[in-house]
Chain A
Amino acid sequence: MTEFSPRIVAFCCNWCSYVGADLAGTSRLQYPDNIRIIKVMCSGQVFPSYILKALELGADGVMVAGCHIGDCHYVSGNKKAQERVETLLRVMKTLGLDPRRVRLEWISASEGVKFANTVKEFVEEVKELGPNQLGVRE
């Protein structure tokens, strides 16, 4: 049996986290290849439904990454993202889905290292959680 290789989707905001991810690249920092980044303009643009849909489609982990609180390019989009993720976590709890599969991170444009480390950490954590049950097709 091959080792479980989680599938992870990250929503990264255009101004901070996506740039942070780029910085990880320009700094040649290595991190696991399990992650697929979707660029959004702002973390506040991420609907709770995007996350649940990703889980439905079999993602083993979903990350939402935005600017640090106070640094949002759009003033408060990240605060809104936080509230929205909290709503989703409530729903996930009722659904019996593990909230640890969803992660909200603040990663600035200068935090290439944090980006790489966060991905490493998250991949490890998701590996421990095992495959997302919704990804197992009947």
Chain B
Amino acid sequence: MTNIGVYICHCGTNIAGVVDVEALAKRVAKLKDVSLARDYKYMCSNPGQDLIRDDIKHRNLDRVVVAACSPRMHENTYKKVLASAGLNPFLLEIANIREQASWVHLDKEKTTNKAFDLINMAVSKVRMDEPLTSMSANVIQRVLVIGAGIAGIQTSLDIANIGYDVVLVEKEQSIGGRMSQLGKTFPTLDCSACILTPKMVEVSSNPRIKLFTYSEVEEISGFIGNFKAKIRKKSRGLDESLCTGCGLCQEKCPTRVPSEYDEKMGKRKAIYTLFPQAVPNIPVIDRASCLYITKGKCGVCKKVCPVGAIDYERGDEFIEEEVGAVVVASGFDPFDPTSKEEYGFGIYKNVITGLQLERLLHAAGPTQGEVVRPSDGAVPKRIAFVQCVGSRDEHANKYCSRVCCMYAIKNALLIKEHHPESEIFIYYIDIRAFGKGYEEFYKRAQEKGIKFMRGRVAEIFEEPASRNPVIRADDTLLGMVTENEVDMVVLSVGMIPRSDSSRIQKMLGLAASPDGFFMEAHAKLRPVDTLVDGVFLAGTAQGPKDIPDTVAQAKGAASGALGVVSHKALLLSPLISEVDERLCRGCGDCKDVCEYGAIELVTLDTRKVAKINPAICKGCGSCVVACCNGSIKLRNFTDSITFAMLEAALGGAL
């Protein structure tokens, strides 16, 4: 037997002014299974709540309908009332007779009728509601951060400093990321290394941060609060625990190959560290160029190593780490302009990329900060910057990479400071100086005599004799096509998703935006969240951004992750979908429509059936409708409940 109690709130005169609450209570009391119906001035007041509580206890109510304001106002209040009286809080329904009746209609009789229908609908629903209990899932109170550029470093430090453990995994042999390649940063012209290095050191010395460099996350399983990550620690060809980072091996190594870190503007050894401040300061043997490994000769590094750390045969190691949340800060790659043949990159020696210029300008770079032409080593006098290379381009990337205007201006200024006599042209579409101090920075560049040419560069060709690149562009302000012979061209390449981002995306079950960067859960409201609960985004992995934005987002991601791991357990909403395994045909249609990856197909005897992970399911019901034969139901929103409500709303069954 069901005993439903209905409580009709006057809400002062807010409801009672339009709805005849007393008559309504009398009508409602006659409904099937309703054992009492009361009206009261303010149901949400303490005496109102006590009324419900007492009735549950003394009148043996087992389900409650409150006809009052919107459930958005006081549903939780009444749920607590039920719980405190020992009744399952999910056996409550709210009939919204204020916002959706008394406040929107004037006719007393009709509004009372409508209120009756709304209560009748709520009664029909509550009668069929199931008592539900929130499940809780234990949370592993550590965070995995993928990528140790400035974003990953900031996130890790924030989390660690608040007191939670971090597992930080970096693909390269040192942390620091792209920022470590930069000389100075805009708009303050701070030395990049000067602000980054202390943070890197902090990472290495923080006991709460477990750092894996030269490592990759290969697999992630589990769900919010309970992820398991398999990490491959690639072999450096030496024993890290012995290496002291003395650098002797690096010094004696006879092999020299183009340095990727220097964007091929310089050379490195076959055993090398990326840069002097590398963290950890432990070299890696490049197996592709090491003479000993490729030809079996040499072995110099092993001979000179005072601690005997070199171990050519060393293999990769695999480590499993359990974490409660994941922050993806895998960064970006610079756009490779080779495909934009009109710019001649890779053909004309004196056409370089912005990142290559960064290395040339870097005091610790291959030229110790001197900008020289690759063709002859001469100092270029006329330099042109070409903006939007691969960005804002229908044929490459449609998006704006956000940083190129500023880094081109920054580098132009730096050159101008070294060589005030040099002529610098910046070919742009719009100068996007949109940050704090950026417009001022742009003004400063104009003051210094840097020439801004509005127009997209159509073509670059080379004067064979001088090897000077010539820029042919449509100067849209002049309205004419211009040709400009310069000593060197710098292509301001944009940002593209990191080469392995699609692997990471699949591994984590993330969505990708059309631009290929990881997609956030909501562009405006949840910019650091993803659709996979417990996974957050930081930095340029989510989309192009500059250093301040990256740091800000990293802090946001840290906070998101802390929101998960600061709890010992997570309470999961029980209002989710569940599968009737017997009915399930295992077709996978539900899996296909689930935006959260909450559904997987598992084997049951000889069949496949869908299984919903309650920790991931959000209870949207999409899968319910996708299911052809009704194997999935959304708890307390079942077909039968809806049909019963329809019958109540429309007055009677067929």
Contact = CB atoms under 8 A, between A and B. Distances in A.
Given A28-B104, A59-B650, A42 B121 contact: no
B111 interface: yes
Interface in A4-43: 7, 9, 19, 21-22, 24-26, 28-33, 36-42
Contacts of A53: 642-643, 646
Contacts of A63: none
B104 A25 contact: yes
Interface string B78-118: 00000000000000000010111101111100110110011
B196 interface: no
Interface in B596-654: 618-622, 624-626, 634, 637, 639, 642-643, 645-647, 649-654
Given A25-B98, A36-B118, A7 B650 contact: yes
A95 interface: no
Contact of A75 (B110, B595, B621): B595
A17 to B, nearest CB: 12
Interface in A110-125: 116
B650 A54 contact: yes
A29, A36, A42, A49: residue with the most chain B Cβ atoms closer than 10 Å? A36
A38 B646 contact: yes
A84 interface: yes
A56 B649 CA distance: 13
A114 B575 CA distance: 29
Which size class do A's interface residues fall under?
35 or more
A7 to B, nearest CB: 6
A127 interface: no
Given A9-B646, A9-B649, A57-B650, A38 B622 contact: no
Contacts of A80: 593, 622, 625-626
Contact of B100 (A9, A37, A58, A75): A37
A76 interface: yes
Given A25-B70, A41-B637, A74 B104 contact: no
A24 B100 CA distance: 8
Contacts of B620: 41-42, 44-45, 73-74, 77
B93 to A, nearest CB: 10
B622 A33 contact: no
Contacts of B110: 33
A21 B100 contact: yes
A42 to B, nearest CB: 4
Given A33-B110, A57-B650, A76 B625 contact: no
| Residues of A contacting B: mostly | mixed
Contacts of B121: 36, 38
A8 to B, nearest CB: 9
Given A29-B104, A44-B620, A80-B622, A57 B654 contact: yes
Contact of A58 (B531, B595, B650): B650
A41 B634 contact: yes
B100 A41 contact: no
Contact of B114 (A28, A36, A45): A36
A38 B642 contact: yes
Nearest to A45: B621
Interface in B567-595: 575, 593, 595
A45 B649 contact: no
B72 interface: yes
A50 B2 CA distance: 26
A57 B539 CA distance: 54
A9 B637 CA distance: 16
B575 to A, nearest CB: 8
A50 B100 contact: no
Contacts of B619: 41
B649 A36 contact: yes
Contacts of B622: 42, 44-45, 74, 76-77, 80
Secondary structure dominating the interface of B = helix
B593 A75 contact: no
Contacts of A26: 99, 103
B117 A36 contact: yes
A89 interface: no
Contacts of A24: 99, 104
Contacts of B647: 57
A49 B121 CA distance: 18
B27 to A, nearest CB: 16
B645 A38 contact: yes
Nearest to B115: A33
A131 B55 CA distance: 43
Contacts of B117: 36
A23 B649 CA distance: 22
B646 A22 contact: no
Contacts of A28: 103-104
Interface in A63-93: 73-77, 80, 84
B533 to A, nearest CB: 13
A25 B100 contact: yes
B78 to A, nearest CB: 16
Interface string B256-286: 0000000000000000000000000000000
Nearest to A49: B639
Interface string A94-138: 000000000000000000000010000000000000000000000
Contact of A76 (B113, B595, B651): B595
A47 B118 contact: no
A38 B98 contact: no
A45 B625 CA distance: 6
A45 B637 contact: yes
Interface of A: 7, 9, 19, 21-22, 24-26, 28-33, 36-42, 44-47, 49-50, 53-54, 56-59, 73-77, 80, 84, 116
7 contacts: A21-B99, A25-B70, A25-B103, A33-B110, A50-B639, A80-B622, A116-B104
Given A33-B110, A44-B621, 16 more contacts: A19-B72, A21-B100, A25-B100, A28-B103, A30-B104, A32-B105, A33-B104, A33-B111, A36-B114, A38-B645, A41-B620, A44-B620, A45-B637, A57-B646, A59-B646, A116-B104
